[in-house]
Structure 1
């Protein structure tokens, strides 16, 4: 029979193991996956493939950064994929349909995203609709706007216009470079660094975390809660737009609902990032690590010839595990 002291010691040891897995489980999982895929495929650890992984997660990470900011104030933005779709459509159409410069094309896409973020923030902050329900509704609204704007067609250079003429506009070489290595990776890392510094080392970022922890306490302490909530949804839309702009530069066309497939991966990356280094909250570095985990997993599965339609099962299981780890941790404290 164990006495009370021995039972207490055993519990402490078990929690120490859990704490280690909570803090470093994601990084450990990435390392295990890299070793496994390196053993099963001699092409996995090649320089070209590693660069391909970083390139593949760049857009997901940038869009996920927007979700990270919305989560920092205790909200949640499900409309980022649709905002990215609008941004892709606008930035490509500015070149192909109207022959505008790179600056005007990017500015138009970001302006459209700010309007979308303004609609979200107004309905959530002023009308007081729950954020998840509101952004779920606007996800469909913005998706419909993107389809209406493009008339359900793919926008590309030399496309045939409704009047039968060929579009004469060309995508600028400068814009085309944004979606290529190394710029696409550099932009991702710069976005992560800026948001990490903003959330971690500025008073505005700390205010957002305080609001996310206890909104009423933040309001009583004098923090302008509504102002920061509006800012969070505007920033979320802006980063979704940046992700869409980079996507447009990478594929050089505007596909139908181009940003929609990135929503699930972005949400997964953000929530996986909660447990990185035991932060217990949305953070930019954790989001990047979560995106790396998804990227490594997806790349390795492709090399193992796993059917594409089965990949969502694996990614969904990874997200479920990350959520279980995060929420079990929060309820055990």
Structure 2
């Protein structure tokens, strides 16, 4: 008969398995269920459609993750992405700008917003949640000013009564719509490159290790000689730069400046970053986990859509997944003395 010690060992092993691989096992199970219920789910085209659908949210989630690694939090990523997609549309349609100038403008705006967040948080000492929430509202209102609250489309009538002469050119639209080999969407490739770069930096370089040190104990990192303020500023600039890339891809995908395009992006990005805590038992913000978290939610929503589930279940499912992931991460983790 197994001894109590044996039962305790088995229980501990199962708990460790649930913490480390629970989310991945659940993801595999969900994929299997959807594949049985709807064989078309596993088609390569549908799998890449899922990745394309979550690419922008995942990018924004990566930005949030970088700030979390440094001990902060960025709520402005959704507002910045929406602001950038309106700025891109304004540059192309109203100013009749080129693809190159539009990209430089959008990335420059992202860097400025990141520096603005850093000034508010690092220099002025405003709590990160309050500062970035304020920036979120500021950007949401600012994007409406140039057009009087209207969306931007080729041929629109401007505030001064003139007609916009520009348009979304093919080179810019390709950033959101082109598929390599008729399979791989550009946004998915961009996500893969950005995620791989951030993962390598955060997990395998001294720069990344100091980032985690600053987030874990800023005072100890500063006493060890790390320029903690510079790292915190860098985190918000990186977050904003990645969010601006997401805004560019969003504009290229929809082909217009839509005033409602950013609705829900911030909440989805934060959810992906938080779900990522449960991947491989990291119990901390991490790049790989954020991508897996975004894909997990995308798989659920895509599968339910293919099964004709009501649209109003989406937020319910997102909330259930987030609570489940956090329960696995914190509820099953060993208690600290």
Name 2:214's counterpart in structure 1: 211
Q: Residue 15 of structure 1 is aligned with which of 12, 18, 21?
A: 12
Name 2:79's counterpart in structure 1: 82
Give the secondary structure class of the aligned counterpart of 1:287. Answer: helix
Are the equivalent residues in 1 in contact too, given 2:19–2:333 (CA < 8 A)? no
Give the secondary structure class of the aligned counterpart of 2:146. Answer: helix
Are the equivalent residues in 2 in contact too, given 1:65–1:192 (CA < 8 A)? yes
Q: Residue 255 of structure 2 is aligned with which of 244, 252, 255?
A: 252
Name 2:175's counterpart in structure 1: 178
Name 1:121's counterpart in structure 2: 118
Name 1:63's counterpart in structure 2: 60
Are the equivalent residues in 2 in contact too, given 1:146–1:257 (CA < 8 A)? no
Q: Distance in 1 between matches of 2:20 and 2:229?
A: 32
Q: Distance in 2 between matches of 1:108 and 1:127?
A: 27
Name 1:316's counterpart in structure 2: 319
Name 2:154's counterpart in structure 1: 157
Name 1:238's counterpart in structure 2: 241
Alignment of structure 1 residues 94-105 onto 2, 5 Å: 94-105=91-102
- Cα distance, 1:8 vs structure 2: 4.5
Aligned residues: 330
What is the RMSD computed on CA atoms of the aligned residues?
Answer: 1.7
Q: Does 1:270 align with 2:267?
A: no
Question: Per the alignment, do residues 162 and 64 of structure 1 end up closer, same or farther by CA in structure 2, a change over 3 Å counting?
Answer: same
- Cα distance, 1:100 vs structure 2: 1.1
Q: Residue 138 of structure 1 is aligned with which of 135, 138, 143?
A: 135
- Cα distance, 1:325 vs structure 2: 2.0
Provide TM-score, normalisation by structure 1.
Answer: 0.94
Q: Distance in 2 between matches of 1:227 and 1:10?
A: 50
Q: Residue 147 of structure 1 is aligned with which of 136, 144, 148?
A: 144
Q: Distance in 1 between matches of 2:312 and 2:147?
A: 28
Question: Per the alignment, do residues 104 and 330 of structure 1 end up closer, same or farther by CA in structure 2, a change over 3 Å counting?
Answer: farther
Q: Distance in 2 between matches of 1:258 and 1:207?
A: 36
Name 2:25's counterpart in structure 1: 28
Structure 1 alignment gaps of length 5 or more: none
Provide TM-score, normalisation by structure 2.
Answer: 0.93
- Cα distance, 1:329 vs structure 2: 4.8
- Cα distance, 1:81 vs structure 2: 0.3
Q: Distance in 2 between matches of 1:329 and 1:255?
A: 43
Name 2:182's counterpart in structure 1: none
Structure 2 alignment gaps of length 5 or more: 180-184
CA deviation digits over 1:130-161, x for unaligned, max 9? Answer: 11122122211221112223421111122222
Name 1:280's counterpart in structure 2: 283
